[in-house]
Structure 1
Amino acid sequence: MPQVIADISVSLDGFVAGPDDSSDRHALGIGGERLHQWLFELDTWRARAGREGGDRGVGADIMGEYFTRTGAAVIGRRMFDHGEKAWGDEPPFRVTVFVVTHRPLPPRPMSGGTHFEFVTGGVAEAVGRAVAAAGAQGKNVAVMGGGQVIAAALAAGVLDELRLHVVPVLLGGGRPLFAEPMDPAIALETTRVELSSGVTHVFHRVLK
């Protein structure tokens, strides 16, 4: 059975994007790019972009395995809208990506193996379709964000693991990981903590 794994970078003050995030001004919010610099410097990430070199530490191992084991992904429409221009014709996913949206679009095949499918039935439906797609390959599902989609997946009981990459920056505002109060009955267990190149990787298993 595929594991459904949420994975996101977060600032020390709890934000996954900086202030004033918009697709036409600051896609990651003001200062939000600092949350992802550690990822862009990994050799496993650079290799996906056809570039050489990069950090080969534990973070590269974590994300390299994550990429290899991912057979389908789930993202929100905001993340799609913000990233569409930057990703270009060959997005970095290389799997089918189910986009949770109220504004459907036709399926969109891209170069490099990425295929966007737009799902209007909510996060649980999107995750269910992703599980079917990933399961056919014997792989996992990656719920990549933004924070609203991850929170909704956690609240819906469809997550198996929550991985936070905690970056030691303070954004002072923006989009929090959990914008709305979560059910205190949801229980998680920290299973792994790793420090690499200025980011702390914290793995949490969702207890069901």
Structure 2
Amino acid sequence: MTRTVYETATSLDGFIADQDNSLEWLFAVEGAQEGEAIDSTAEFINGAGAILTGATTYEWILQEQGHKPWPYQTPTWVLTHRDLPRVEGDLRFLSADTDEELRALHEEMVRTADGKDIWVVGGGRVAAELARLGLLDEVRVSVAPVSLGGGAPLLDGRVRLRPLSARLAGAFACLNYAVIKD
């Protein structure tokens, strides 16, 4: 059964990017490029059947990749209200401004995922909107031992969670939560 999972890294104070929309802080953490946390994330990503991302996260990935082809073979939907640079890859650009449009998009992604999970890359606003509509099933965060003091929030809105598991993976605390659906 397809689950919709928001998997990301966050600072200890709950930010997925700093005030400049940078992730340099994350890659500066000792062991961030290797080890159990990155292996677990890679395993999840490789098993995903569909990817959903917001425009800012998409642009950050492109910049980090040097505008090379999209790094994932998995069909990817990019939510945006502006023209974005296009690269080679299985990419779909759209806006989903209403609850009905977001639900229809999610249904399309579930069909495409064909029993595999949907990976919500980011950001926090996209994940919170999915949760509000009862479409987000799980939140998985790798908490880095750093405080940013501001930036892009992990979740941009109230989301109630139930703990599933917690473990240490190198310098990271890996926390898995089920989303409580009202």
Q: Alignment length, in residue pairs? A: 175
Instruction: Indicate the residue corresponding to 1:80 in structure 2.
Output: 58
- Identical aligned residues as a percent: 30
Residue by residue over 1:83-134, the C-alpha shift from the partner in whole angstroms, topping out at 9 and shown as x without a partner, is: 223223232222111011223679x672xxx411012224434332221110
Instruction: Indicate the residue corresponding to 1:161 in structure 2.
Output: 138
Residue by residue over 1:12-52, the C-alpha shift from the partner in whole angstroms, topping out at 9 and shown as x without a partner, is: 1111111123xxxxxx1xxx32225568623xxxxxxxxxx
Pick aligned residue for 1:170 from 113, 136, 147: 147
Cα distance change on mapping 1:13 and 1:197 into 2, 3 Å: same
Pick aligned residue for 2:105 from 122, 126, 145: 126
Which range moved further: 160-169 or 88-97? Answer: 88-97
Partner amino acid for 2:24?
Answer: E
* Runs of 4+ off more than 4 Å: 36-40
> Deviation at 1:192?
1.1
Instruction: Indicate the residue corresponding to 2:170 in structure 1.
Output: 197
SS at match of 1:93: coil
Partner amino acid for 1:76?
Answer: G
Which runs of 5 or more structure 2 residues have no equivalent in the other structure?
none
SS at match of 1:2: coil
Alpha-carbon contact 1:165-1:200 (below 8 Å) kept: yes
Alpha-carbon contact 2:48-2:119 (below 8 Å) kept: yes
Alpha-carbon contact 1:100-1:126 (below 8 Å) kept: no
Instruction: Indicate the residue corresponding to 1:15 in structure 2.
Output: 15
Instruction: Indicate the residue corresponding to 2:90 in structure 1.
Output: 115
> Deviation at 1:173?
1.4
Which runs of 5 or more structure 1 residues have no equivalent in the other structure?
22-27, 43-54
Residue by residue over 1:139-187, the C-alpha shift from the partner in whole angstroms, topping out at 9 and shown as x without a partner, is: 110001011111111112111111111111011211222344x2xxx54
Alpha-carbon contact 2:70-2:87 (below 8 Å) kept: no
Instruction: Indicate the residue corresponding to 2:71 in structure 1.
Output: 92
Alpha-carbon contact 1:14-1:177 (below 8 Å) kept: yes
Q: Distance in 2 between matches of 1:78 and 1:3?
A: 24
1:146 paired with 2:123, answer yes
Partner amino acid for 2:19?
Answer: P
SS at match of 1:90: coil
Instruction: Indicate the residue corresponding to 2:33 in structure 1.
Output: 41
Cα distance change on mapping 1:175 and 1:64 into 2, 3 Å: closer
Q: Distance in 2 between matches of 1:67 and 1:100?
A: 19
When the two chains are superposed, the root-mean-square deviation of aligned CA atoms in Å is 2.4
Cα distance change on mapping 1:82 and 1:64 into 2, 3 Å: closer
SS at match of 1:63: helix
Alpha-carbon contact 1:97-1:116 (below 8 Å) kept: yes
